[in-house]
Structure 1
Amino acid sequence: MRLPSSLSFLVDKAIACEDGAVFLAELAATLAADGVPLAGGALTQLAPHPIIERRTFLWRADTGKVIEALGLAGPADADDVHVARNWLAALGAGVQVDFAGAPSDGAMLAWTASRQFSQAESDLLRQVARFAAAPLALLANRSTLVELLTTYLGRRSAAQVLAGRLRREPGETIRAGLLYADLRGFTELSEVSDAKDVVAALDAWFDRIAGAVHAFGGEVLKFIGDGVLAIFPIGERNAASACDAALRAVGAARAGMNHLNRARAAQGMPTLSFGTALHLGEMLWGNIGTADRLDFTAIGPAVNLVSRLEGLCRPLGHTVLVSGIFAAHTKQPLFELGEHKLRGITAPCKVFALP
């Protein structure tokens, strides 16, 4: 007996869907091919993410498009589930059927139509729910793996691990604007503060600097103690755009830290300061370590220079220093501090600072 298109899709092709949006759109298309008069559909899945608890994908028949609504941490019947139900009610004539369990079970698959479902259509949708359980579970496991790797390794490294890069190898050469930032006085802070207060201060600092980097299209490669190494890759944008983005990120981080320090001062807590260096160059990003314990690491002269340049912030009395190569690719007003010898680097570096 020939299976309906929707069941054939779930048996043969659903496991290849890259995410919930693709799964919902393709499943809805096959149900339409089976003659089910859908007006809209919704798929809600639990999300293994530090901030997001659920993802809800919403599909409408008149456009064939899927949009995504994110639900932050909260109870299982939180607003994002209500969003799905309200969306479906608005599209249909109040006809709504939930088939794949409650959100607490990991998924909710729901449909609406402009008229009452016939008995045959309802039976098919129930069969679809049964057949959808396995590919939805696989999709959830795949999503969990991606989110965990991205959370702990970052987007660039996670993509390489998922692609099977599990051996020591040179990796990729990246040309980018490099940002290295380091929290000042962290050792002293650790000596006089409780451990939980130190961790809270670190988290607040990383929120400001990493949040600013991401806001302007950069990538955090490594958290190094209380320091951060980030890049603004050159590829889709040119060197000037990458450098300007890095400078805007620094400005945003400084504003965020000023706001944080006002709050800390009001609570009688010590304020936090940081130094930042910006450079432009190439680095090698790849797997380094032992045969069975690897880490993605950035190496190369550009990485060495930007970290050594940041070490001049305190001696020169500036919180942001810029290399001559970086300065040549931006129109932002800078003033020159002369050439300086950097520890371990042969050639002196021309150094600039923000006004």
Structure 2
Amino acid sequence: LCADLRDFTALSEVTEPHAMITTLDAWFDRVAGAVHAFGGEVLKFIGDGVLAIFPVTPAAHKAQGDRDACEAALRAIAASRAGMAHLDQVRQGQGLTPLPFGAALHFGEILWGNIGAADRLDFTAIGPAVNLVSRLEGLCKPLGRSVLISGAVAANTSAPLVPLGEHALRGIADPCAVFTLPDD
């Protein structure tokens, strides 16, 4: 899962620093809370972005473990959206603007662990799946969607999804089948 606030730079230019940190904390609470509630792990907060994973747990059938991870990620997205809708209502009651965001889900193998220099390690994830989900999240704004889902996730869920066709993603060799949620 990769998620990012929209127009954060513009917001940060007109918001007092302490209020900006409070705003970021509220955003991260909604997303991280949803990720953790459904068995995921937040790997990184990157500026106003979040990178999280939903590990595939051993199951009687590998396909079931794959489905469980994808279903958990979809539930976390739904919970994040609900949490942000509530936060936006509170913000609007305070005369503040809503916090639109984009989020993407992809299913694939990653490498994760402590990576870096001898005197500075950082726990992170790398690999083509991480690159793809990041690029997919970047399509949210141009496609006018808040949630985009890769074909790899769509193949591992029975949730109703709306196909948006195949899209080329910068730095990714093959076009990616892209889906969204019916209410997005």
Aligned to 1:18: none
Aligned to 1:329: 156
What SS does structure 1 have at the residue aligned with 2:54?
strand
What is the CA-CA distance between 1:295 and the residue it aligns to? 1.1
Higher relative contact order (CA 8 A, sep 6+): 2
Please list, as runs of the form range in 1=range in 2, the aligned pairs for 1:106-145 lying within 5 A after superposition.
Answer: none
What SS does structure 1 have at the residue aligned with 2:110?
strand
Aligned to 1:184: 6
Q: Give the Cα separation in 2 of the matches to 1:213 and 1:198.
A: 22
Residues 120-149 of structure 1, C-alpha deviations (whole Å, 9 max, x = no match) = xxxxxxxxxxxxxxxxxxxxxxxxxxxxxx
TM-score (norm 2): 0.94
Aligned to 1:338: 165
Aligned to 2:49: 227
Choose from 300, 308, 318 the match for 2:145. Answer: 318
Runs of 4+ in 1 over 2 A off after TM superposition: none
Greater Cα radius of gyration, structure 1 or 2: 1
Q: Give the Cα separation in 2 of the matches to 1:269 and 1:301.
A: 38
Residues 183-203 of structure 1, C-alpha deviations (whole Å, 9 max, x = no match) = 111101101110011101000
What is the CA-CA distance between 1:236 and the residue it aligns to? 3.3
Q: Give the Cα separation in 2 of the matches to 1:293 and 1:245.
A: 33
Q: Which residue identity is paired with 1:289?
A: G
Choose from 17, 21, 39 the match for 1:195. Answer: 17
Q: Give the Cα separation in 2 of the matches to 1:209 and 1:286.
A: 22
> Any unmatched runs of 5+ in structure 2?
60-64
What SS does structure 2 have at the residue aligned with 1:303?
helix
What is the CA-CA distance between 1:288 and the residue it aligns to? 1.8
What SS does structure 1 have at the residue aligned with 2:109?
strand
Q: Give the Cα separation in 2 of the matches to 1:235 and 1:257.
A: 28
What is the CA-CA distance between 1:287 and the residue it aligns to? 2.2
Aligned to 2:102: 275
Q: Which residue identity is paired with 2:75?
A: R
Choose from 99, 117, 127 the match for 1:290. Answer: 117
Q: Which residue identity is paired with 1:348?
A: P
Q: Give the Cα separation in 2 of the matches to 1:241 and 1:300.
A: 22
Q: Give the Cα separation in 1 of the matches to 2:57 and 2:94.
A: 45
Aligned to 2:62: none
In the alignment, structure 1 residue 245 sits paired with structure 2 residue 67:
no
Cα root mean square deviation, aligned: 0.9
Q: Give the Cα separation in 2 of the matches to 1:270 and 1:230.
A: 26
TM-score (norm 1): 0.49
> Any unmatched runs of 5+ in structure 1?
1-178
What is the CA-CA distance between 1:292 and the residue it aligns to? 1.8
Aligned to 1:309: 136
Q: Which residue identity is paired with 1:203?
A: D
